Chains A and B, each alone.
Chain A
Amino acid sequence: MSNKWYAMIAPVITTGALVFSAAPVTHAAPNTFNTALPVAQGEFIWREQAVFRERSSGGPRDRDVSIAALASVLGYGVNSRLAVFGAVPYFFNKDLDVTTPMGRINRDTDGFGDVTAFARYTLYKNDFTGGTFRIAPVAGVTAPTGDDDETDRFGRLPRMLQTGDGAWEGFGGVVTTYQTLQYQVDAQVLYRENGRHDGFARGDETRFDTSLQYRVWPASLENVSGTPGFVYALLESNLVHRDRNDVGSGVDQNSGGTQWLVAPGLQYIGRRWIFEGTVQLPAASNPHGDALEDDAIVRVGFRRNF
């Protein structure tokens, strides 16, 4: 592990530890990851998120990638401990500007991406007055349902621009939630192993995500009867490490790396509806070579309980 890696992960772990030791929280769920979505037995949860993502790389190719997508997630509570989820993105546009020997060119595509299915089992639950603490393993697969062989006038689109990966992927990890009436903390550690297809395998991914949701309105629940809507201020953190992509019998030296994103945001929590928005911004980056990095990700959407 390099010093750079230590330098990036240490503040995240410290922040997470401070947040956990600081105290209590509730069950509203993060905006930048789906594994902590709450769902009761026999109930559904539906999340729609508009995602606008800007990525870029340095180097002679000077790549700029813009993505506009709609991410749909449906969850179902099989029982009080087991919940299953399905997710699929629709890309309105995946757009690449890149410098080539022919000059600066633009390439783009659209369509449905790969479908993901995952399950979460609440292994440990400690409910207390006005709060709860839960630990749940998560596991799932991503199926190659999106296109991975789209072409344009320049030929086949590069793999990172395709809407699908072309290979099966598996992932697993653990998600925890600590919630009180005043605030909630969620955290997950997740490892994703990407399959190989047509001579290409995207680098495996390890991520550590945390989310703090703090109730800012109503400021106090004293003398408040019933169940009013809550407004939370969000602060989320995503630390992601990606291995280099395998290409043919070698690796792409300009792929993968480590990036830490921080996301402030707002959430309105009603009894059936949740409206939420965040902006993920890079706090630190350590890319491999001229690998693509996130410049900003905007997520705006809603959740409905039914």
Chain B
Amino acid sequence: MFKQLLLLLAGLMFGMSASAAGNQYTLGVKGVACPYCAYGVEKRLNKVDGVENVSVDIGDNVVRVTMAEGATLTKAKARTAVDEAGFTLHSFSQAQAKQGKSDEQ
């Protein structure tokens, strides 16, 4: 009985932590070639409603965006933010849902 309770509790905790992780997106951005430029992209994307974290892998030319729980990032919003930073959105894909959410250009 005690063992079953522990298993149930562990399952609940796993479920809660899984649902707390927000949607993650991977953006391919053209034009970013130095840390200073990367900061401009991060700053513009951080102003989008629901964005929780932005990180730039400059060597791979990708920007990873994590949204708050329940929030989504549209391609249009991502494109606007990248444009405002002075760069060009090249590709947009949702990292978490691998079932057909990718929208490569």
Contact = CB atoms under 8 A, between A and B. Distances in A.
A184 B33 contact: yes
B88 A127 contact: yes
Interface string B22-61: 0000001011111111111111100000000001111101
B88 A130 contact: no
Say whether chain A's binding surface is mostly helix, strand, loop, or mixed.
loop
A226 B57 contact: yes
A26 B58 CA distance: 11
Contact of A131 (B33, B40, B84): B33
A111 interface: no
B59 A181 contact: yes
Say whether chain B's binding surface is mostly helix, strand, loop, or mixed.
mixed
Contacts of B41: 40
Given A28-B36, A40-B40, A271-B42, 9 more contacts: A25-B33, A41-B85, A79-B84, A129-B30, A129-B90, A181-B34, A181-B59, A221-B58, A305-B39
Given A221-B58, A227-B58, A271 B36 contact: yes
A127 B56 CA distance: 17
Contacts of A228: 35, 58
A25 B33 CA distance: 7
B70 to A, nearest CB: 27
A129 B19 CA distance: 34
Nearest to B28: A129
B61 A129 contact: yes
Nearest to B38: A227
Closest 6 CB pairs between A and B? A127-B31, A26-B33, A221-B59, A40-B40, A127-B30, A127-B88
A222 B31 contact: no
Nearest to B36: A269
Given A41-B44, A41-B86, A179 B34 contact: yes
A171 B32 CA distance: 30
A122 B31 CA distance: 14
B69 interface: no
Contacts of B56: 226-227
* Most B-side CB within 10 Å, residue of A81, A127, A225: A127
Interface string A1-37: 0000000000000000000000001111000000000
Given A41-B44, A128-B31, A227-B57, A80 B84 contact: yes
17 contacts: A26-B33, A38-B37, A39-B40, A42-B44, A122-B86, A129-B61, A130-B32, A130-B61, A132-B30, A180-B33, A181-B34, A184-B33, A226-B57, A229-B35, A270-B35, A271-B38, A305-B39
